[in-house]
Amino acid sequence: MARQRIAVLGGGLGALSTVFHLTDQPDWVARYDITLYQQGWRLGGKCASGRDLRDGYGHRILEHGLHLFGGFYNYSFAMLRRCYETLGRPQGHPNRTVWDAFTGLDAIALMDRDKNANGDTVFDPWWINFEPAPGLPGEGFEPPTVTAMMQSLIRMVGVATGTVAHHQHHAKPDDGGFLEQALQMVEGLVLRIADDIADDLIRDLIAHIEAYATSTAAKAGDAVPSKTVDRMLMTVYLVQTVLWGMVEDDVLDNGFDPLDRYELKDWIRRHGLEVAKHYKRDVPDPKAAAEALANSPIVRCSYDYVFGYKDGDPGQPGQGAGTALRGFLRLAAGFRGHVFYTMRGGMGDVVIAPLYQELARRGVKFEFFSRVERLRPGEGDVIEAIEVGVQARTASGPYQPLIDVPLAGWPADAPLPCWPAQPQWDQLEDGQKLKAEGIDFEAPWSPVLETRTLLAGQDFDQIVLGIPVGELKRVCADLPPVKPKWQAMFDALGLTRTIALQLWFRRTNEDLGCDYPGRTLTGAAQPLSCWADMSHLLSRETWKAQERPQSIAYFCGQMRGPAAQDAAEAQAATDLAATLSRSWLMAEAATLWRAAGAGDIGIDPAVLYDPEDRAPDRRFEAQYWRANTTPSEMYVQYLPGSLKARLRAQESGFGNLFLCGDWTRNGLNAGAAESAVMSGVICARAIWGDHSPIAAEVDVLA
Ligand SMILES: Cc1cc2nc3c(=O)[nH]c(=O)nc-3n(C[C@H](O)[C@H](O)[C@H](O)COP(=O)(O)OP(=O)(O)OC[C@H]3O[C@@H](n4cnc5c(N)ncnc54)[C@H](O)[C@@H]3O)c2cc1C
């Protein structure tokens, strides 16, 4: 049988996962000849990161945003574990195995709001601590059953409210452990009932939880702050509502997908109202109670975590209820090991570079600086041509994209292979000229040297389309007239700009008065609602100067507005990201760093690390911010009603065109690394003719 020539377009996680799984077959060399076309100098797309190569900047990591993996990312971890094993990094390498490269996180804080004595709104973190679960992510692929997720949801009452001691660590109330004991009793009770969780028992269960929670709260009320009791009751109410809604909407029979037409908050309001009417006899206004529930911290933070606002506007919440519920239940109730994992390195270093190295070793060919411009449909439902813009040529031989970053304290023969934040100009023809022109190879409007046309049957047999939906509107503009479902997909899928900020400090967290070292928070003020202390990355950068940064913080969020269409719009978005970052810090910095002084960015600028030691009013310039605003960078959402418009790997309508990426229909259907990796597993199988669903693609009902 002739080898199939596969042209892979784009090198994000979806495409890399497809290629990884195609080439993980023992006989792949006899079956496939694979070439991947990637714009610019690096792989990774929305997960790409780069090292700052300027003198004195310590190879610092520059990300597109703040990235966490969930402990339920079984496909991602299984792929990476295998990738690291086959790479065979030497003993003593800083990121030798996948478990050296990732660290588990067991807690996250929801930034609840409160009023202080002056009546000002202040943030009051609500810590949710998850007990580690047995096993490691990637040891299996089956998601928990819907029934098991319902049982875990009930356990959430204890998880979400059993963290009182932590939440109160500044002023622990002297309650003699009463509340914790009471919470354990609630948990024990609901678990006993939940052992046999059938539809008809759930209403009894909801009533039991209500009665028990109310009496516990009443007893606890004297001993502990009302805030803690409020949180417990709110969690109970949310759990009741989700259980009620899942029963009412037949999730136990039909899974989560049918709920996708509802917006999550609307769904919570509707079922919250029913629960309040039926069970909350002491609630005078059930409608108001349901509204408060829809705006409670857990629900609100779920939006921030997935940039779940239409057009990036916090006034327009937009999560399809089915996809949201499945995603959050798998996150909170379906993890192995730890609930979250953070990376010891940039996402490019920890996830993308090892995949590139392994795939190159296997014999996959990479054509960097190749921007796909157009797919041309031909007769008989096939793509007959791919137009590729040649952005740059190498001076000699294939482009070598990675640099070795030597880390202090690690063996000199075990450097960390990383992506630079800009091309390696000296490998390119006219590299210095291109550098001087400041050409942005990741922007669709940057010039190309020439356009090549790849022809079906001559240059390729099959196409793996790994370019994201924002950019496909341009690249696949000829497809909707032939296959209208492409237009339906373009119209339905929501995209949002995102904003990211990274700060390096001259002071330790302790000196800055930071109460959350090593922690991650979500639900803070817009637009930089997610924050993480990333000081552990100091060991993965190469600061040498005597004075060096002592801590690092990352922020991320969504940003209003459409994709930029030209360089001026992209620049305006970047400038806006700087303005928004400064004003956010001015208003909010004191919540995170109590001892960072004051200034026109909310902290004393002298605490910021600046390798060029600029004057105080310019030290912010040494920090890193960005607006992700090119069409390809736009984050893919799951707006209500959009699910049915997603296309599965083999549903392009063209016999030689297979689809992958977080925007495809892949079972998770969300803007998440795991969704992209799952799409790649599905795509690889579709190419070898297996269209059956993969384990986590379907809801396992019982
Ligand atoms: C700010 C931010 C934070 C995030 N945080 C998290 C997180 O914490 N956890 C998580 O799980 N997920 C997170 N995500 C989502 C995750 O990054 C994406 O789901 C994932 O990267 C999508 O992979 P993909 O392969 O579908 O697309 P992409 O990553 O967009 O990859 C597409 C690839 O195609 C290339 N390309 C585009 N146009 C062309 C062209 N014309 N020609 C050739 N190549 C082209 C791109 O350069 C890129 O290599 C975050 C996303 C953003 C934006």
Q: What is the pLDDT of residues 18-65, one digit of tens each?
A: 999 999 999 999 999 999 999 999 999 999 999 999 999 999 999 999
Residues 509, 458: one domain? no
Question: Considering 584, 601, 632, which residue would you say is the last residue of a domain?
Answer: 632
Residues 411, 480: one domain? yes
Q: Is residue 137, in this structure, part of any structural domain at all? A: no
Question: Considering 579, 610, 632, which residue would you say is the last residue of a domain?
Answer: 632
pLDDT of 75 above 60: yes
Q: Which mutation among 19, 387, 467 tests ligand 1's pocket best, with the greatest number of atoms within 8 A of CB? A: 467
Residues 608, 526: one domain? yes
Q: How confident is the model at residue 163 (pLDDT cuts 50, 70, 90)?
A: very low
Judge if the beta carbon of residue 10 lies within 6 A of ligand 1. yes
Judge if the beta carbon of residue 19 lies within 6 A of ligand 1. no
Mean pLDDT of 209-225: 65
Length in residues, the chain:
702
Name residues whose C-beta falls within 8 Å of residue 171's C-beta, 6 or more positions apart in sequence: none
Judge if the beta carbon of residue 45 lies within 6 A of ligand 1. yes
Q: Is residue 21, in this structure, part of any structural domain at all? A: yes
Judge if the beta carbon of residue 348 lies within 6 A of ligand 1. no
Mean pLDDT of 366-390: 98
Q: Is residue 129, in this structure, part of any structural domain at all? A: no
Q: How confident is the model at residue 148 (pLDDT cuts 50, 70, 90)?
A: confident
Strands, E, within 42-106: which ranges?
49-51, 61-63, 69-70, 102-105
The pLDDT of residue 166 is: 34
Q: Is residue 132, in this structure, part of any structural domain at all? A: no
Residue 253 C-alpha to ligand 1 middle, in angstroms?
A: 34
Mean pLDDT of 264-279: 93
Alpha carbon nearest to ligand 1 atom 7, residue: 67
Judge if the beta carbon of residue 622 lies within 6 A of ligand 1. no
pLDDT of 633 above 80: yes
pLDDT of 267 above 60: yes
The fraction of the chain above a pLDDT of 90, given in percent, is 75
Which of 75-84, 204-213, 370-379, 682-691 is predicted least confidently?
Answer: 204-213
Residue 239 C-alpha to ligand 1 middle, in angstroms?
A: 33
274, 289 Cβ separation under 8 angstroms:
no
**0.75 surpassed by pTM:** yes
The pLDDT of residue 240 is: 84
Mean pLDDT of 300-306: 95
Judge if the beta carbon of residue 494 lies within 6 A of ligand 1. no
Residues 593, 675: one domain? no
Residues 305, 441: one domain? no
Mean pLDDT of 236-255: 89
Judge if the beta carbon of residue 472 lies within 6 A of ligand 1. no
Number of domains in the chain: 3
How high is the mean pLDDT of the chain?
91
| Domain assignment of residue 236, given as a range | 144-333
Q: Is residue 117, in this structure, part of any structural domain at all? A: no
Q: In this structure, what DSSP letter does residue 428 have?
A: B
Name residues whose C-beta falls within 8 Å of residue 218's C-beta, 6 or more positions apart in sequence: none
Residues 568, 656: one domain? no
Judge if the beta carbon of residue 471 lies within 6 A of ligand 1. yes
Judge if the beta carbon of residue 197 lies within 6 A of ligand 1. no
pLDDT of 176 above 60: no
Mean pLDDT of 545-558: 93
- Tell me the pairing of strands 69-70 and 462-465: unpaired
Q: Is residue 445, in this structure, part of any structural domain at all? A: yes
Judge if the beta carbon of residue 469 lies within 6 A of ligand 1. no
Residues 233, 215: one domain? yes
Q: Is residue 133, in this structure, part of any structural domain at all? A: no
The pLDDT of residue 232 is: 76
SS3 assignment, position 390? strand
The pLDDT of residue 626 is: 98
* 544 vs 400 pLDDT, higher one: 400
Mean pLDDT of 423-438: 96
Write out pLDDT tens, residues 82-112. 999 999 898 889 999 999 999 999 988 888 8
The pLDDT of residue 425 is: 97
Q: How far apart are CA 676 and CA 20, in angstroms?
A: 13
Q: How far apart are CA 402 and CA 392, in angstroms?
A: 17
Judge if the beta carbon of residue 661 lies within 6 A of ligand 1. yes
Residue 532 C-alpha to ligand 1 middle, in angstroms?
A: 20
413, 91 Cβ separation under 8 angstroms:
no
The pLDDT of residue 224 is: 60
- Tell me the pairing of strands 462-465 and 657-659: parallel
The pLDDT of residue 42 is: 98
Please, which residues bridge with residue 264 across strands? none
Residue 267 tokens read as 């769904």
Q: Is residue 204, in this structure, part of any structural domain at all? A: yes
Q: Which mutation among 46, 309, 366 tests ligand 1's pocket best, with the greatest number of atoms within 8 A of CB? A: 46
Tell me the CATH number at 17: 3.50.50.60
Residues 487, 352: one domain? yes
The fraction of the chain above a pLDDT of 70, given in percent, is 90
Mean pLDDT of 337-356: 97
Residue 437 C-alpha to ligand 1 middle, in angstroms?
A: 26
Residues 385, 509: one domain? no
Q: Which mutation among 39, 47, 341 tests ligand 1's pocket best, with the greatest number of atoms within 8 A of CB? A: 47
The pLDDT of residue 227 is: 73
Residues 171, 302: one domain? yes
Write out pLDDT tens, residues 455-479. 999 999 999 999 999 999 999 999 9
pLDDT of 158 above 80: no
Question: Considering 291, 307, 333, which residue would you say is the last residue of a domain?
Answer: 333
Residues 235, 321: one domain? yes
Judge if the beta carbon of residue 43 lies within 6 A of ligand 1. yes
Residue 632 C-alpha to ligand 1 middle, in angstroms?
A: 8
Residues 299, 178: one domain? yes
Alpha carbon nearest to ligand 1 atom 4, residue: 67
Cβ density class 345-358: b for 16+ within 10 Å, e for less: bbbbbbbbbbbbbb
pLDDT of 187 above 60: no
Judge if the beta carbon of residue 497 lies within 6 A of ligand 1. no
